[in-house]
């Protein structure tokens, strides 16, 4: 019985240690989540203004052409997938990777028909294990990434589209709703088909050297900005998922500690009762 009590006590201490870790991770994720949300919100005005400028140029200049605005027969597709470097974030990585894999399986018959640009160690390892074609990868990002961290992969994906190496580009990430909800999304990024003028103010602009020249610079930057915005959204989703997962783990640890404590007290009470019974029986035998 003493051996059983020691084992239960050891399990209680183990669960208490685990609870301390998960609670600390929950608090860290919660503090970082606020910063990640602020970064995601701060990036939107720039993205919106850039889209407005691009829309006005495209709508105000008839007959304007640019590779990023034109559809062409799809021979090869690019997928830019955003995952995390670390686990312990619930279904954050599994959900988006499952959706990407399902989409690839439904749309393609050969590995020559697509290529993957992946951000995050979890996604990279997932695709490597399945021997899927990875064009570029970026890992070891901080929880507050800056555009310079993904500049190479963003430019690489956009340039492959401009050069005709891929004919369409999708961005795959978890859209942040709140700390409890993150929705896996696969959005079409290129070619751009939803660039429409939304400004109600009638204004005439002169572009130097030409509208085509301005779009030549702005459209790649706009696409790269959308990628960065998706990354910030994904980071907020990751931290929200980790906070929720660690919160649930802490609650489970509390529950297990309570159950083990109850079992320990019952076993201890049974041991004490047995000792008293043995003492009484011994005393009666000597009487």
Question: What does the DSSP 8-state code read for residue 198?
Answer: -
Domains observed in the chain: 27-244 (3.40.1380.10)
pLDDT of residue 10: 92
Residue from 179, 176, 194, 135 nearest 159 by CA: 135
Q: Decide: helix, strand or coil at residue 24.
A: helix
- Lowest mean pLDDT of 68-72, 106-110, 145-149, name the range: 68-72
CB atoms within 10 A of CB 274: 11
Long-range pairs for 104-108: beta carbons < 8 A, 24 or more residues apart: 104/79, 104/132, 107/77, 108/77
Q: How confident is the model at residue 202 (pLDDT cuts 50, 70, 90)?
A: very low
pLDDT in tens, 205-249: 677 777 778 888 888 888 999 999 999 999 999 999 999 999 999
Decide: helix, strand or coil at residue 74: coil
H/E stretch holding 271: helix 211-286
Does 274 score more than 50 pLDDT?
Answer: yes
Mean predicted confidence (pLDDT) in 58-82: 82
User: Residues 86-141: pLDDT tens digits?
Assistant: 999 999 999 999 999 999 999 999 999 999 999 999 999 999 999 999 999 999 99
The continuous run of DSSP H or E covering 174 comes out as strand 168-176
The pTM (predicted TM-score) of the whole model is 0.85
Tokens describing residue 91:
């279904």
Q: What is the mean pLDDT of residues 66-80?
A: 89
What is the pLDDT confidence band of residue 40, given thresholds at 50, 70 and 90?
Answer: confident
The pLDDT of residue 62: 62
Taking CA atoms, 90 is separated from 86, 100, 179, 239, 245, in Å, by: 11, 18, 12, 10, 5
CA distance 229 to 147: 9
């Amino acid at each position: 019985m003493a051996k059983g009590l020691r084992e239960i006590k050891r399990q209680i201490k183990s669960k208490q240690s685990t609870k301390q870790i998960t609670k600390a991770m929950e608090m860290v994720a919660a503090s970082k989540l606020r910063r990640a949300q602020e970064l995601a919100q701060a990036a939107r005005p720039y993205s919106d203004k850039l889209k407005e400028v691009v829309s006005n140029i495209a709508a105000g200049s008839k007959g304007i052409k640019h590779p990023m605005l034109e559809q062409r027969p799809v021979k090869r597709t690019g997928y830019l997938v955003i995952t995390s470097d670390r686990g312990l974030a619930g279904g954050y990585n599994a959900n988006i990777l499952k959706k990407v894999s399902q989409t690839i399986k439904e749309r393609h018959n050969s590995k020559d028909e697509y290529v993957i640009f992946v951000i995050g160690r979890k996604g990279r390892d997932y695709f490597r294990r399945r021997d899927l074609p990875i064009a570029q990868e970026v890992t070891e990002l901080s929880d507050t990434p800056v555009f310079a961290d993904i500049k190479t992969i963003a430019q690489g994906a956009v340039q492959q589209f401009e050069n005709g190496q891929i004919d369409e580009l999708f961005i795959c990430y978890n859209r942040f709703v709140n700390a409890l909800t993150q929705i896996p999304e696969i959005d079409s990024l290129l070619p751009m088909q939803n660039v429409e003028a939304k400004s109600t103010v009638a204004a005439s602009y002169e572009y130097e050297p030409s509208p085509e020249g301005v779009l030549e610079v702005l459209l790649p930057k706009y696409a790269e900005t959308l990628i960065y915005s998706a990354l910030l959204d994904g980071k907020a989703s990751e931290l929200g998922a980790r906070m929720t997962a660690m919160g649930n783990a802490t609650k489970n640890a509390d529950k297990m500690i309570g159950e083990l404590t109850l079992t320990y007290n019952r076993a201890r009470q049974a041991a004490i009762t047995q000792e008293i019974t043995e003492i009484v029986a011994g005393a009666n035998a000597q009487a």
